[in-house]
């Protein structure tokens, strides 16, 4: 049995979700009219494409306990903990130490509550491609994350969480994370250099994340937490055209699913996707291409965002599920 499910709902159903004692997290994609003081409620400030108003609902299989620990909001059940950490940047060049601090807080809260294994982390901050003090902000973020993870993980290259890092237009560093009482299995993509082995041309510290994490819930139920995936082969960005980048991204997703499927008794199928795009695009064409490539039509949310490399136009992350009767 899975300990939680993730679904997209219309924003009009947000109040009903907040009344549910099983709610792990409610993620909006714009600020609510009245700020909510609820440790289960979070905001990713990215414009939704397509004219809809969607919320992402994380629903536990059982009632949750929610609270705030070490400045980190959280809600958890017997198996997993969803965490949220939002810090204001106190200086233009403070992103590196701020990121290290945020990650140390995530680990401190997760361990204090009995969930020592980070499975998935989402990272959001503004001006991701701009330089500050001679260093691109994404690279400064990577340096801060690396500093914290090296300190917190005893086996750095084999226990990294799945992750994405996305640029917003709103101030502040926002981290969301899923932690477990037991560890998952790190999955790498045979078409890509592992991010933590990127050459120094990508910054003083390589990005510290896995391409995906496979988590077993019993012997016959599996989640695959898929990191932000883009048009990268080896360590180099590929293509200029958006649709060609999309095709390369989908090749990478299929390769990642195939790699994970070698470890599961049942095939993993995409259950939910989130697509980050730079321009305002033809969503119908994107949906069709994604469905054809993945042989599936999972619920998909399109958000306008900045990607971690200037030349990349699109990035896809998601959740895949495998379950045998």
Active-site entry in 56, 152, 188, 315: 315
The two three-digit tokens of residue 289, written as one number: 């291409």
The two three-digit tokens of residue 155, written as one number: 């086996």
Rounded-to-integer distance, Cα 261 and Cα 320, Å? 11
Rounded-to-integer distance, Cα 304 and Cα 281, Å? 9
Asked if pLDDT for residue 90 goes beyond 90, the answer is no
- 96 burial level (CB within 10 Å; 0-12, 13-18, 19+): buried
Cross-strand pairs, 179: 81, 118
Instruction: Convert the pLDDT of each residue in 243-277 to its tens digit.
Output: 999 999 999 999 999 999 999 999 999 999 999 99
**CATH assignment, 4-323:** 3.30.1330.40
Q: Which residue has the higher pLDDT, 278 or 77?
A: 77
Q: What are the C-alpha distances in Å from 163 to residues 198, 230, 295, 317?
A: 16, 13, 24, 9
CB atoms within 10 A of CB 71: 14
What is the per-residue pLDDT for 66?
98
Instruction: Convert the pLDDT of each residue in 32-88 to its tens digit.
Output: 766 778 999 999 999 999 888 999 999 999 999 999 999 999 999 999 999 999 999
Averaged pLDDT, 205-231? 97
Instruction: Convert the pLDDT of each residue in 126-169 to its tens digit.
Output: 999 999 989 999 999 999 999 999 999 988 999 999 999 999 99
CB atoms within 10 A of CB 112: 13
What pTM value is reported for the model? 0.97
For residue 14, the surrounding DSSP H or E stretch is: helix 14-18
Tell me the domain boundaries of the chain: 4-323
What is the per-residue pLDDT for 150?
97
Active site residue 136: no
The two three-digit tokens of residue 217, written as one number: 């819930």
């Amino acid at each position: 049995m899975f300990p939680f499910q993730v679904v997209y709902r219309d924003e009009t159903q947000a109040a009903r979700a907040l009344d549910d004692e099983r709610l792990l997290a409610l993620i909006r994609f714009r600020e609510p009219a009245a700020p909510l003081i609820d440790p289960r409620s979070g905001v990713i400030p990215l414009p939704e494409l397509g004219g809809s108003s969607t919320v992402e609902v994380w629903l536990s299989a059982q009632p949750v306990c929610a609270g705030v620990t070490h400045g980190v909001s959280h809600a958890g059940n017997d198996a997993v903990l969803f965490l949220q950490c939002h810090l204001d940047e106190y200086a233009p060049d403070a992103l590196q130490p701020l990121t290290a601090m945020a990650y140390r807080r995530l680990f401190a809260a997760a361990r204090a509550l009995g969930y020592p294994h980070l499975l998935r982390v989402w990272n959001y901050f503004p001006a991701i491609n701009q330089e500050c003090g001679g260093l691109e902000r994404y690279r400064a973020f990577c340096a801060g994350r690396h500093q914290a993870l090296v300190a917190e993980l005893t086996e750095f290259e084999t226990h990294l969480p799945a992750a994405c890092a996305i640029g917003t237009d709103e101030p502040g560093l926002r981290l969301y994370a899923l932690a477990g009482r037991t560890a998952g299995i790190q999955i790498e993509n045979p078409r890509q250099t592992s991010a933590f082995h990127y050459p120094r041309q990508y910054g003083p510290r390589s990005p510290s994340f896995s391409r995906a994490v496979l988590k077993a819930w019993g012997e016959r139920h599996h989640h695959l937490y898929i990191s932000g995936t883009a048009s990268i082969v080896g360590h180099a960005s590929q293509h200029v055209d958006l649709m060609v980048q999309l095709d390369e991204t989908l090749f990478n997703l299929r390769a990642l699913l195939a790699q994970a499927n070698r470890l599961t008794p049942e095939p993993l199928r995409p259950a939910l996707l989130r697509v980050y795009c730079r321009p305002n695009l033809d969503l119908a064409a994107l949906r069709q291409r994604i469905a054809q490539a993945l042989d599936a039509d999972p619920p998909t949310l399109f958000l306008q965002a900045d990607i971690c490399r200037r030349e990349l136009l699109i990035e896809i992350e998601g959740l895949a599920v495998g379950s045998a009767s």
